[in-house]
Amino acid sequence: MHRRLIAPGAFVASLLLAIPASAASYEPGAPGIGDPYYPAYGNGGYDVSHYDLRLKYQPGTDRLEGTATLLARTTESLSRLNLDFLLDVSEARVNGTKAAFSTSGEHELEITPRNPLPKGTEVTVVVRYAGVPSAEKAYGFTSWLRTPDGAVAAGEPEAAWWWFPSNDHPLDKATYDVSVLVPDGTQALSNGTLQSTSSRAGWTRYNWRSNKPQATYLATLAVGRFDITTGRTENGIPIVNAYSKDLGDDAGAARASVERTGEVAAWLTEYFGPYPYNALGGYVPNTPQVGYALETQTRPFYSPRQFASGSNVSVVVHELAHQWYGDLVSVAGWKDIWINEGFARYAQWLWSEHENEGTAQEIADHVYASRAADDPFWTVRPGDPGPENQFHIAVYDRGALALQALRNEIGDAAFFEILKGWPAKYAYGNATVGDFVAYAEQVSGRRLDALLDTWLYQPTKPGAAAAERVGVAARGHGAVKAPKSWKKIAATNSVHQHEGGHGAEGGHGAEGGHGRGTGR
What is the overall mean pLDDT for the chain?
A: 91
CB-CB contact of 317 with 351 (8 Å):
yes
Alpha carbon 22 to its chain's center: 41
pLDDT, position 3: 38
Neighbours of 46 (CB within 10 A): 23
Q: How far apart are CA 52 and CA 56, in angstroms?
A: 14
Percent of the chain with pLDDT over 70: 89
What does the pLDDT look like over 348-365, one tens digit per residue?
A: 999 999 999 999 999 999
Give the confidence band of 383 by pLDDT, cuts at 50, 70, 90.
very high
Q: How far apart are CA 8 and CA 27, in angstroms?
A: 23
Is residue 101 over pLDDT 90?
yes
Give the confidence band of 490 by pLDDT, cuts at 50, 70, 90.
confident
Strands 88-94 and 122-131: antiparallel
Is residue 339 over pLDDT 70?
yes
**Preceding peptide of 238 cis, ω within 30°:** no
Give the confidence band of 373 by pLDDT, cuts at 50, 70, 90.
very high
Range in 276-280, 396-400, 439-443, 509-513 the model is least confident about: 509-513
pLDDT, position 450: 95
Is residue 313 over pLDDT 70?
yes
What does the pLDDT look like over 417-471, one tens digit per residue?
A: 999 999 999 999 999 999 999 999 999 999 999 999 999 999 999 999 999 989 9
What DSSP character marks residue 232? E
CB-CB contact of 483 with 363 (8 Å):
yes
Is residue 16 over pLDDT 90?
no
Return the closest-CA partner of residue 170 out of 159, 185, 181, 184: 159
What does the pLDDT look like over 62-76, one tens digit per residue?
A: 999 999 999 999 999
What does the pLDDT look like over 286-301, one tens digit per residue?
A: 999 999 999 999 999 9
Give the confidence band of 10 by pLDDT, cuts at 50, 70, 90.
very low
Give the confidence band of 83 by pLDDT, cuts at 50, 70, 90.
very high
- Which pTM value belongs to this model? 0.92
pLDDT, position 520: 52
pLDDT, position 495: 44
Is residue 19 over pLDDT 60?
no
What does the pLDDT look like over 245-260, one tens digit per residue?
A: 999 999 999 999 999 9
Is residue 517 over pLDDT 70?
no
Which residues pair with residue 284 across a beta bridge? 243
Please state at what angle helix 338-354 crosses helix 313-321, rounded to 10 degrees: 140
Q: How far apart are CA 385 and CA 338, in angstroms?
A: 9
DSSP per-residue codes, 71-123: EEEESS-EEEEEEE--SEEEEEEETTEE-EEEEETTTEEEEE-SS-B-TT-EE
pLDDT, position 327: 98
pLDDT, position 506: 38
Helices (H), 245-295: 251-258, 261-272
pLDDT, position 478: 55
Percent of the chain with pLDDT over 90: 86
Is residue 15 over pLDDT 90?
no
Please state at what angle helix 449-456 crosses helix 433-444, rounded to 10 degrees: 140
Is residue 366 over pLDDT 70?
yes
Give the confidence band of 202 by pLDDT, cuts at 50, 70, 90.
very high
Which of residues 475 and 108 earns the better pLDDT score? 108
